[in-house]
Amino acid sequence: MSAVIETHHDDHHHGPGKGITRWLFTTNHKDIGTLYLWFSFIMFLVGGAMALVIRAELFQPGLQFVHPEFFNQMTTNHGLIMVFGVIMPAMVGLANWQVPMMIGAPDMALPRLNNLSFWILPFAGGLLVSTLFMDGGGPNFGWTFYAPLSTTYAPPSTTFFIFAVHLLGASSIMGSINIIATILNLRAPGMTLMKMPLFVWTWLITAYLLLAVMPVLAGAVTMMLFDIHFHTSFFNAAGGGDPVMFQHVFWFFGHPEVYILILPAFGVVSQIIPTFARKPLFGYDSMVYAVASIAFLSFIVWAHHMFTVGMPLAGQLFFMYATMLIAIPTGVKVFNWVSTMWRGSMTFETPMLFAIAFVVLFTIGGFSGLMLAITPVDFQYHDTYFVVAHFHYVLVPGAVFGIFAAVYYWLPKWCGRMYDEAMGRLHFWLSFIGVNLTFFPQHFSGLAGMPRRIPDYSIQFADFNMWSSIGAFIFGFSQLILLYTVIKTIKSGEPASDRVWDGAHGLEWTLPSPPPYHSFTHPPVVTDAEAHS
């Protein structure tokens, strides 16, 4: 045993490893956070390129560039990559960087598990993308992979798609366990639950959602695997099963999943708005309860995604009213963000611009969600571009803007250098214009009846689609500004102060910029001034 003690003699003073092994073998929450964020950005470009293939094809009516079969593979993989390869990893990356610093911990609770959670992702992402190059093509049944499209009529690569989903799920489950253990066990003395920063709260609740629903997704794809390879009949009515059952199991995962994507962004915005309004967050307690209520309600609304499949009237009514209830806690949150800004000494640096755009544009996405919740109306909207406009409004200027805001807000803390404010604003305005130009017209084409997941369309939708495609290319290429700005910051940004923003509160700002390799070797003292914001 003595040899073991020897090798660990200076465990708490070791720095980063050398070369590539620093990244392959790391147990450090900051290094792993960085890996998550870069992985997410690379996948953002891959998934974004797929989106641009879709928009290029839809620029004009008629078939222009790609075969319809390939178009289906693009819509499917764009969705899967953006959900599982971009937004989720980016949020986990933010949690990795921020949660230990915000609660006064030295690192994540289970550092080796943390490394495993990350390193599964490139393998899983690689496996998913590789299906596009297999015989018979990649998954082409939409990101929701409804049976029997994904079972009876699926390409052979579906087997690998299923295993990729298993791997992604395992990564998320391990990441969530780690985040829960960190938040529950590693808070500094005095950091009581109701003093935790909102970002930590939203991630705690998100981690529980992930733990509850990722295994259900694993169950869904496992039943698919058995239907494909072992002749079971879960989703085949000829054997007494039901394809609609797939949709129930999928959306029992799928609806909490959309809150998994957005709740951490709620947390980010709840950190940023108080800083730049120079006021404490309005209604902290109600924010916590609102997030918890949204998370609870997310488990009992899933069938609003499938009103048109035919379900008993009682089911339609229940899921309609339960869905509408979500507007209440969400309204509380929007009200509190606006009230925080009320009479604040506001300044509009890039993180604040993204946060304010988040509040406005996410609310638009929330309203279109309310319209979709109304069962009889949904019969008209179902599977049209109105749905596409709705979920892109909550995911792009919602979750993705939340991630952008977080990156600009904390980047100076992470690397000790200030980003170029002019470039940040340029990135913001081009993204803002691009995203609205892309998705706002889709509300109209959808209401007029344009179906989603279609490579060709009636000429009456031509103008809306042209605007949409122009917007998509503006949005897509403006992301290169983000890449340039981040690299420039890392290489040659002006040194940043420890506090960075003069209205910022929280333990992370008490550390130097950049913070030491191990955040808090000894627990810090939590003062009221640093709590609650």
Query: What are 233's two structure tokens?
Result: 């009949």
**Among 240, 285, 343, 491, which residue interacts with other proteins (rule: CB under 8 A)?**
240
Q: Indicate whether 188 belongs to the interface with other proteins (CB under 8 A).
A: no
**Smallest gap from residue 166 Cβ to other proteins (A):** 7
Nearer to other proteins, 253 or 354 (CB): 253
How far from the centroid of its chain's Cα atoms is residue 249's Cα? 21
**Measured between alpha carbons, how far is 475 from 432 in angstroms, rounded to an integer?**
8
**Smallest gap from residue 9 Cβ to other proteins (A):** 6
Give the CA dihedral 466, 467, 473, 475, nearest 10 degrees.
Answer: -160
**Among 241, 344, 451, 514, which residue interacts with other proteins (rule: CB under 8 A)?**
241
Closest CA to 73 of 62, 57, 89, 86: 57
Nearer to other proteins, 172 or 270 (CB): 172
What are the distances in angstroms from CA 269 to CA 133, 398, 432? Answer: 39, 10, 16
**Smallest gap from residue 162 Cβ to other proteins (A):** 8
Q: Indicate whether 30 belongs to the interface with other proteins (CB under 8 A).
A: no
**Among 211, 292, 433, 462, which residue interacts with other proteins (rule: CB under 8 A)?**
211
Residues of span 299-338 touching other proteins by CB under 8 A: 310-313
Q: Indicate whether 4 belongs to the interface with other proteins (CB under 8 A).
A: yes
Nearer to other proteins, 27 or 60 (CB): 27
Residues of span 148-177 touching other proteins by CB under 8 A: 156, 159-160, 162-163, 166-167, 170, 173, 176-177
Nearer to other proteins, 235 or 501 (CB): 235
Residues of span 447-466 touching other proteins by CB under 8 A: none
Bridge partners (DSSP) of residue 451 are: 384
- At how many degrees (to 10) do helices 243-277 and 350-373 cross? 150
Q: How many CA atoms lie less than 13 Å away from 330 in the CB half-sphere?
A: 24
Bridge partners (DSSP) of residue 384 are: 451
Q: Give the number of residues in contact with other proteins, rule: CB under 8 A.
A: 91
Instruction: Judge contact between 174 and 136, C-beta under 8 A.
Output: no
What's 495's DSSP letter? E
**Among 30, 518, 524, 533, which residue interacts with other proteins (rule: CB under 8 A)?**
518
Q: Indicate whether 204 belongs to the interface with other proteins (CB under 8 A).
A: no
Closest CA to 144 of 241, 262, 246, 51: 246
Closest CA to 117 of 182, 43, 172: 172
**Measured between alpha carbons, how far is 281 from 196 in angstroms, rounded to an integer?**
12
**Measured between alpha carbons, how far is 457 from 278 in angstroms, rounded to an integer?**
50
Closest CA to 496 of 427, 411, 407: 411
**Among 22, 45, 480, 483, which residue interacts with other proteins (rule: CB under 8 A)?**
22
| 455 preceded by a cis bond (ω within 30 of 0) | no
Q: Indicate whether 178 belongs to the interface with other proteins (CB under 8 A).
A: yes
Instruction: Judge contact between 177 and 126, C-beta under 8 A.
Output: no
Burial of 423 (0-12, 13-18, 19+ CB in 10 A): middle
Q: Indicate whether 354 belongs to the interface with other proteins (CB under 8 A).
A: no
**Smallest gap from residue 395 Cβ to other proteins (A):** 24
Q: Indicate whether 498 belongs to the interface with other proteins (CB under 8 A).
A: no
Query: What are 520's two structure tokens?
Result: 């808090």
> Which residues are annotated as catalytic?
78, 107, 143, 171-172, 255, 257, 259, 270, 304-305, 330, 333, 452
Q: Indicate whether 233 belongs to the interface with other proteins (CB under 8 A).
A: yes
**Among 54, 188, 212, 327, which residue interacts with other proteins (rule: CB under 8 A)?**
212
**Among 53, 86, 91, 223, which residue interacts with other proteins (rule: CB under 8 A)?**
223
Which one of the spans 43-51, 102-110, 197-205, 503-511 is the region binding other proteins (CB under 8 A)? 102-110
Closest CA to 172 of 218, 126, 229: 218
Termini Cα distance of the chain: 46
Which one of the spans 74-82, 180-188, 414-422, 434-442 is the region binding other proteins (CB under 8 A)? 180-188
**Among 11, 19, 285, 528, which residue interacts with other proteins (rule: CB under 8 A)?**
11
Q: Indicate whether 236 belongs to the interface with other proteins (CB under 8 A).
A: yes
**Measured between alpha carbons, how far is 511 from 522 in angstroms, rounded to an integer?**
13
Write the CB contacts of 139 (distance below 8 Å, at least 6 apart in sequence).
73, 76, 77, 80, 131, 145, 150, 154, 155, 157, 158, 161
Residues of span 107-146 touching other proteins by CB under 8 A: 107, 109-113, 115-116, 119-120, 123-124, 127
Nearer to other proteins, 170 or 448 (CB): 170
Which one of the spans 55-63, 205-213, 441-449, 461-469 is the region binding other proteins (CB under 8 A)? 205-213
**Among 234, 381, 414, 419, which residue interacts with other proteins (rule: CB under 8 A)?**
234
**Smallest gap from residue 110 Cβ to other proteins (A):** 6
**Among 82, 205, 220, 504, which residue interacts with other proteins (rule: CB under 8 A)?**
220
**Smallest gap from residue 315 Cβ to other proteins (A):** 9
Nearer to other proteins, 147 or 405 (CB): 147
